[in-house]
Structure 1
């Protein structure tokens, strides 16, 4: 079948892929060179820069300041040795720094040393002998407790500005006075003071200080010390995420933060995860789903963005704002929580550094369902027909033909043909550098992943540029990023791909060269089903998407007085979407034919513009009162437009452009616009880190509401009390270093109600609304067809949160627990209106109410045992969402076995309850005698009149003698009672291990795939369970008899298909080796780490479906509707820098 191939619009041809890769590399090199210009100069800056000075009768201090401003140098010196108030005059023209300093300090007894842009001044002695008496040189090494050198540690002579930093081997050399002390410090370690005696060499060991780890957390429009936070915030470091190999940042978050749910609808190519903070926030009654209102606001570097397009390697930190106190500053967009993301930026005074990371791996589905082969399928099918009493003359022809000659048929394992072992790869390269007043960070990435199903996959690439420049009291910077996400998607003929694969008879051949397209299917004249060849659909149909995301923002910051920062920020985010679906002519067996090719294409563009002006003022009064004030203005505008077209009847399958279509043309498009204007502010105060209060507000005006309802006010307040900082706690502080209570209350808004709901909208109709004018040809007419909901207003969520944070044994053990209630009111719901209005419809009113309650706990332990260091992080979450009211008190939303109704939990399973299998006719008769009703004629109507031995017994819950939907009972919910995350980080010498576990407990799953494979009212393939169907010889089974047509409706929605959804999964396992620095240095590297790992290595569960974690959207939680399972990946990778 060499002639069978699929179109490759993503550029899988080698030459196209190579050209695209080279183009990306060229752009990256260009940006790399441009970004290097302001920072690389630090290496030889002092030799190349020249400046001019003309200063009369001034001080040395003023000359030093002039040099620092002109040349980006910075000085350190000992005020006890250097007289900077000495009067001097200097006039130089176009001289190097060495020439200037030689002239400035000529005959003054002052000497200098230059390291890059750092100039150290020191006093010369009268003679070399005297210098030896007064000064000495100390050589040392700074290491951690395992003996590993610490690079970049600060070594400072106490009481002076004389200092240096350690090199790549942790070594330093410093000239100091006799009998002095050295202060040695490094981020994440306890600062150490060392007295220097007569020794000339020294080894200094720093001890890790957990007290300073993650000390600062990001909050809205600023940062705050973790110990000062009185609201609910969870921080996740980018280092943790970087050890989870994925091109999708959302997927890396599962189990990382209590209260943050990461749900996967499918493992198909082009799919992304959905995020949810603390359960359901809003409910939309027209379709039971409101993902826009239940997804958190994502802020990337201060600008609303899309996490799906973010490279995980670019993330520095993530903060999850979970209550009103922390999220209210974002007002109407924050009711469902806020996720703040900081990306990596360069640091000032840092040498250029290049990093590279990459991984390669193989992926596959972890399990396949057990379905019948050809012989087993024939056996079950015959059994079903015999039990139904079907005359053999009416049996499908394939049964007799198979028994006569099985070689006429195939024995195709459709899952084996459909699922594939995919290859995944990802590469990241980054560059950072910084001078005295500027920094730059540049990164690029590329990833390509084969889907777990045939002929699918996705590809991502992009770059990010961040930079900052400081000039005196001004600071400015920008963030620019571009990402593209392209995918070859699943294709089908209208049915779920999984159902096509599992239900397709194994009798059918995969290929048939006589068919148009070359693929097989149902054999003509054999009476086979119309299930399709999913492999053929994926191979032949061109179903692709590509999305480009461009984000650009810049800021200008001014500090007029100490502590006051005024900042202006402007940004634009643009999304360009493109999709294409081309169905060629094909013949896939007798049942699936497409005689006319068709094409559908769409283009869309979304533009988000944001302007913000903020003023921050921070002040510490009398070293006790810490005050922070914020005031800001914001304006946001969102535009969207799309254009779609379709056509059919192409000359041939190669001519698949829209212009080649001959008939059935259709063109459509939309254009929308919305805006938001806001005033916001916050006051943050703490007294000696004991008592904290934070109050914030946001006043939002939205174009989505009518005049009079456009503006909403959303305030919040939080209180904190750290008992451990009270004087009476002093004796306990070595054991309990923090004991903080938190309490918060506030209101959050939701404007995600759709557009133009409050104004009349016009619709057209080609028939009913057309009008003739002056006897001429009719013209298309428009009319108002929906009654406007002019009084709708903001949905409001009121939050109450109480929490406690405890730190023990110098923060070795960190504990936190909190409980919350969030009440959403004024939710939109539908109310019927009188037909007298002229509209046969309903209007939206703010009558809905929803209540979500929950609690969270987290325990983090930092430990050591010999040479082993370990961090253990356990978090637990629980929530329950109940619909309290709707405009219609009898409101009911149903999705299969799921129900949502007033007074009930969102997404409950309501099914018929089974009571075993009838073993004989006597049991059937006894049951029907005891259960039934008398009709109006007085005749007895049994409950299950057509039941036979082997059928399922169903319970009549309300006792009315009939089986109907009123007999369904609640058997649980798809929402887990408890979600668990457990993260392990181990380090022993040069080895490290990372393990991330996640689990859900207390949830139910409706196994719809099992329903499809065990039902008897169709003619498709069966699961192997059908071989264990009840027969008189096989009575000890829970599988009912096989009977064609299923007269007793054994496959009705019942407890038979509801399963325990508990599971615990090892999401990520990674074992790494870090090459010692001394060997890295020989290779010209600063670090090198290699690792092997696996994702979703195992799942402990009793669930019989593909994956207990799929099918997890709001309102459909736990409904496994044939979703493609998540893959299991094995990979290896490396990361190095130089």
Structure 2
């Protein structure tokens, strides 16, 4: 332990040695930022007098009424000429200046007795913004951590659905990947890459000081459906989001993926204020994929059936080939239906929000209510949200204060299946369904019935039946309550405690009819219609109590220390039932299904977590910054024999997580006087340990689960316990620089980081005698290296015209460092990934497709074959896809698989601009991802040309005869040569540049009185996307798992939308 601590304090010793060398004053006369050289001023009671002038940055006019203060020791107000005088300990400290409507600013005196400074308007993003850090609320200029703080006051005019999508492109190093276009689905958040193969890679969410559960618990009955608790929060309820990127040891084994702290809005004034906002808009249906029409489809399928041996007479007897109008099935099979048009539509969206704030000297309150209705572009899908929140602050006595945060949200979703089962996935069914068929039943004379068409000879589900007759209802409720107390023991010590409770309930109901929907196979029967019901509950209780110490010594030393204890208990319960083959489609309850086929089950989980933490934060003249943190974590998830960093006397393992952060505000040094254009320059470094406890509640234990067989319940082994299983341990190093120039008109932040994860959760093959396929171990490791940068420019800064531009860029590279056997293959859906030592953890793994053989002679000359199940070698022919024979044995098989691509981007980020002219404001945001490969599973199904499924129009240009020079292989029934296998043929460049949002607002002129402000605005989202991707949309995430990235599984794509709205303040 002593050795551990000594190695972690080494960077600090080096830093302060450097301080001693570089802090020597320059021998020459220096001048800074309109400051005057130090004049020998007599000290009064240990203080000297500082004079100065404060100006408005845009107009350069004096700013009257600005507050200038030095800590809580002295303060002054500027006069009509913007002048002030204030006592300070010496001319090496910093003072803070703020004024209503303007940004707070910190001024380093640098040895000067007189200073001049200018303040930017309140909406300006400054290096002096307040940020919620592990050490408490600090100015970003005084924080040694790598972080980004966002003020969401401007989000009212930008109707994003959830907080996670709002962050996209705004935080360097945070890769935000929207999951799909389904309303409320949210996004996957990956902060500085992915650090785990099987545990969560999502950042920890902390809302108003309490951990916010954002995990997916239980399984949805609707394929492709995601649980997104962030959709329960109206973004207009949020005041600030701070993203903490480097080692967050205070949160122990929950901080490996970084921390996102969300602070909800509270009353800032005692006067009663009413804010109202409303918008309405349209979500436009995505552009249809170019599919084959009826004529091309008939030609394709008839040709394939001939390759399967069907004679001309047999082919002519097919009802869809019979062109005799008098035939019974002519009107059923002689159509040209656009199935995409049948399931996709333009959709409406609307939102209303009301917030009331106010109070008095005893109590302040903020009450809000909201309603959202957002229809999906898939017919009969969408979400409705009803939310309310109450935040209160109370002065109970001179020393005791209290606060409350209460919220309740009800979400009502209509879902359509978007899983990988093409029989029930609505969007995939519309792509694969034959265009020859009609939506409704039709008589022999051509009269159309109102009844939907049933199954047909092509054996594909009717997409309209899936849209109209299927049920996918998800109702979710979440209550979150936090009550906190703060007791000021004396000026230095305070005792704080917070108690939070989360109650979450999700009720799902689903039904798939037999009418028009292809049956599924069960173990002992065929499922015609299917019904299901599930209830999931989460109860979570968390307490956080800390003793805080804060004091300033000698007027220049700021010391704060805290010691605290967190306790969290969580319980989940899931109950579900599935019914099959009720008598009719009108009987949709689980109870109406056959008793022998009914499935009933559930899941119960209980886990506890303790976190004993301490921190020491020190600042000298706000110039030298030091933060030391440590936490001891205990969890019911840890194995009894885990090799923990510490062990209690009772034998329970504790994870020890220390970290050390240091910063040097170089711009505050006196030797920086010769660089007056440098407003702020800070060097930062952090080294520490964090962890990830998402290893499963009972993976360390042996247990059994119930199983139904022919109506009889029995017990089977559910898990092989591993007493040595422990948390994943992440060692992190971060070095960064923050820079502001030319009165903050240029600001730059650059970070480089390295992380190594040890004891990573891995599922290895289980002994065959156990009856299980895998068991959990802690035997893998991975590293992540990367860098990131954010640049912001104020190009024009005039009283009536302001123009800002900015951008972020991030880059990371992941490598497997430890893996039993050196490599591990993982199958996800119809894709295969490889995780091998020295390579990235989720490489697409398959054969390399090179070209299409033009002739039989070309194929014979190369002599490549495939081996059938009975061992027979079958040679490739003209029109077949040519695959690389990597091992040289002339047989194309699994031994020829290789790395086909990396779903992780080389670069990602965003660009944004803001232009304000008088009362007009224009904001735009573009996001991008470059260098990431994606697997187009949808195109694989639409270009394999091996069955009755409709195909893309590109298949028209397929190989048909010797000598054809085509990139599209021949169409053969059943694809006996595997031309459509998982290969590089389906791996595409997923790079894109997207105009994410454009917003134009106008601040209406109002007379002083009841109405304080009125703003009207219009927005456009996803208006332009530049990409070479061949699918609907290049941005998607099939889940939060590392193995779900870069796979287009046929979910609802993101859509273009426009909104118009109003915001009024009273």
What range describes the TM-score normalised by the shorter chain of this pair?
Answer: 0.7 to 0.9
Q: Please identify, of 1018-1027 and 545-554, the stretch whose mean Cα deviation from structure 2 is larger.
A: 1018-1027
For 1:294 and 1:402, the matched residues in 2 are separated by: 57
Q: Please identify, of 1021-1030 and 486-495, the stretch whose mean Cα deviation from structure 2 is larger.
A: 486-495
Q: Helix, strand or coil: the match of 2:321?
A: helix
Structure 1 residue 685, shift from structure 2 partner: 0.8
Q: Helix, strand or coil: the match of 1:397?
A: coil
For 1:871 and 1:1021, the matched residues in 2 are separated by: 49
CA-to-aligned-CA distance 1:182-202 (integer Å, 9 cap, x gap): x9932425899xxxxxxxxxx
For 2:426 and 2:925, the matched residues in 1 are separated by: 31
Map 1:449-848 onto structure 2 (within 5 A).
449-470=374-395, 471-491=397-417, 494-512=423-441, 518-523=451-456, 528-587=457-516, 598-648=530-580, 653-654=585-586, 656-657=588-589, 663=595, 664-707=597-640, 708-732=651-675, 734-764=676-706, 786-831=719-764, 843-848=775-780
**2:856 pairs with 921, 924, 929, which one?**
921
- Is 1:1115 the counterpart of 2:1043? The answer is yes
- Is 1:1098 the counterpart of 2:1012? The answer is no
Cα distance 1:340–1:590, how it changes in 2: closer, same or farther (>3 A)? closer
Where does residue 216 of structure 2 map in the other structure? none
For 2:689 and 2:501, the matched residues in 1 are separated by: 29
For 1:589 and 1:393, the matched residues in 2 are separated by: 29
Cα distance 1:666–1:1043, how it changes in 2: closer, same or farther (>3 A)? closer
Structure 1 residue 372, shift from structure 2 partner: 1.0
Q: Helix, strand or coil: the match of 1:415?
A: helix
Structure 1 residue 355, shift from structure 2 partner: 0.5
Q: Helix, strand or coil: the match of 2:271?
A: strand
Where does residue 341 of structure 2 map in the other structure? 416
Is the 2:571–2:607 contact (alpha carbons within 8 Å) kept by the matching residues of 1? yes
Structure 1 residue 1012, shift from structure 2 partner: 1.0
Is the 1:234–1:320 contact (alpha carbons within 8 Å) kept by the matching residues of 2? yes
For 1:1049 and 1:834, the matched residues in 2 are separated by: 33
Is the 1:521–1:591 contact (alpha carbons within 8 Å) kept by the matching residues of 2? no
For 1:754 and 1:991, the matched residues in 2 are separated by: 52
Is the 1:269–1:488 contact (alpha carbons within 8 Å) kept by the matching residues of 2? no
For 1:766 and 1:924, the matched residues in 2 are separated by: 52
For 1:746 and 1:590, the matched residues in 2 are separated by: 55
CA-to-aligned-CA distance 1:626-680 (integer Å, 9 cap, x gap): 1111111111111111222334565655554555566344433332211112211
Q: Helix, strand or coil: the match of 1:875?
A: strand
Map 1:282-321 onto structure 2 (within 5 A).
282-284=196-198, 290=199, 293-305=200-212, 306-321=229-244
Cα distance 1:1136–1:647, how it changes in 2: closer, same or farther (>3 A)? same
- Is 1:1135 the counterpart of 2:1060? The answer is no
Cα distance 1:1034–1:988, how it changes in 2: closer, same or farther (>3 A)? farther
For 2:513 and 2:425, the matched residues in 1 are separated by: 20
- Is 1:239 the counterpart of 2:153? The answer is yes
For 1:892 and 1:848, the matched residues in 2 are separated by: 14
For 1:320 and 1:439, the matched residues in 2 are separated by: 28
Cα distance 1:672–1:1096, how it changes in 2: closer, same or farther (>3 A)? same
Q: Which runs of 5+ in 2 are unaligned?
A: 1-54, 81-96, 107-117, 213-228, 641-650
Where does residue 947 of structure 1 map in the other structure? 877
Cα distance 1:1129–1:729, how it changes in 2: closer, same or farther (>3 A)? same
Structure 1 residue 1090, shift from structure 2 partner: 0.7
CA-to-aligned-CA distance 1:437-457 (integer Å, 9 cap, x gap): 421111111001111101111
For 2:587 and 2:62, the matched residues in 1 are separated by: 65
Q: Please identify, of 428-437 and 1095-1104, the stretch whose mean Cα deviation from structure 2 is larger.
A: 428-437
**1:907 pairs with 842, 851, 854, which one?**
842
Is the 1:585–1:594 contact (alpha carbons within 8 Å) kept by the matching residues of 2? no
Is the 1:874–1:981 contact (alpha carbons within 8 Å) kept by the matching residues of 2? yes
Where does residue 335 of structure 1 map in the other structure? 256
Structure 1 residue 847, shift from structure 2 partner: 1.3
Give the length in aligned residue pairs: 932
Structure 1 residue 1097, shift from structure 2 partner: 0.6
Structure 1 residue 922, shift from structure 2 partner: 3.1
For 1:429 and 1:840, the matched residues in 2 are separated by: 54
Where does residue 378 of structure 1 map in the other structure? 298
Cα distance 1:329–1:544, how it changes in 2: closer, same or farther (>3 A)? same
Where does residue 361 of structure 1 map in the other structure? 281
Cα distance 1:595–1:945, how it changes in 2: closer, same or farther (>3 A)? closer
Q: Helix, strand or coil: the match of 2:272?
A: strand
Structure 1 residue 1037, shift from structure 2 partner: 3.3
For 1:1034 and 1:414, the matched residues in 2 are separated by: 35
Q: Helix, strand or coil: the match of 1:512?
A: strand
Structure 1 residue 582, shift from structure 2 partner: 2.6
Where does residue 864 of structure 1 map in the other structure? 796
Q: Please identify, of 470-479 and 388-397, the stretch whose mean Cα deviation from structure 2 is larger.
A: 388-397
Q: Please identify, of 550-559 and 1118-1127, the stretch whose mean Cα deviation from structure 2 is larger.
A: 1118-1127
For 1:541 and 1:365, the matched residues in 2 are separated by: 21
Cα distance 1:365–1:788, how it changes in 2: closer, same or farther (>3 A)? same
Structure 1 residue 583, shift from structure 2 partner: 3.4
Structure 1 residue 689, shift from structure 2 partner: 2.2
Structure 1 residue 844, shift from structure 2 partner: 3.0
- Is 1:429 the counterpart of 2:354? The answer is yes
Quick one: higher RCO (CA 8 Å, sep 6+), 1 or 2?
A: 2
For 1:153 and 1:516, the matched residues in 2 are separated by: 78
Structure 1 residue 715, shift from structure 2 partner: 0.5
Structure 1 residue 391, shift from structure 2 partner: 1.8
Q: Please identify, of 963-972 and 605-614, the stretch whose mean Cα deviation from structure 2 is larger.
A: 963-972
For 1:622 and 1:432, the matched residues in 2 are separated by: 40
Cα distance 1:1099–1:149, how it changes in 2: closer, same or farther (>3 A)? farther
Is the 1:247–1:447 contact (alpha carbons within 8 Å) kept by the matching residues of 2? no
Structure number with bigger Rg? 1
- Is 1:1003 the counterpart of 2:932? The answer is yes
Map 1:969-1048 onto structure 2 (within 5 A).
969-1032=898-961, 1035-1048=964-977
For 2:888 and 2:412, the matched residues in 1 are separated by: 56
For 1:218 and 1:469, the matched residues in 2 are separated by: 21
Is the 2:423–2:460 contact (alpha carbons within 8 Å) kept by the matching residues of 1? no
Could you state the TM-score of these two structures normalised by the residue count of structure 2?
Answer: 0.81
CA-to-aligned-CA distance 1:1107-1133 (integer Å, 9 cap, x gap): 111135421321212222012111111
Cα distance 1:635–1:1009, how it changes in 2: closer, same or farther (>3 A)? same
For 1:933 and 1:435, the matched residues in 2 are separated by: 81
Q: Helix, strand or coil: the match of 1:1099?
A: strand
Is the 2:747–2:793 contact (alpha carbons within 8 Å) kept by the matching residues of 1? yes
**2:314 pairs with 380, 383, 394, which one?**
394
- Is 1:1068 the counterpart of 2:1002? The answer is no
- Is 1:961 the counterpart of 2:890? The answer is yes
Structure 1 residue 227, shift from structure 2 partner: 0.9
CA-to-aligned-CA distance 1:79-138 (integer Å, 9 cap, x gap): xxxxxxxxxxxxxxxxxxxxxxxxxxxxxxxxxxxxxxxxxxxxxxxxxxxxxxxxxxxx
For 1:994 and 1:368, the matched residues in 2 are separated by: 30
For 2:859 and 2:761, the matched residues in 1 are separated by: 49
Q: Helix, strand or coil: the match of 1:398?
A: coil
How large is the Cα RMSD of the aligned pairs?
3.6
CA-to-aligned-CA distance 1:979-1009 (integer Å, 9 cap, x gap): 0211212111110111111110011122121
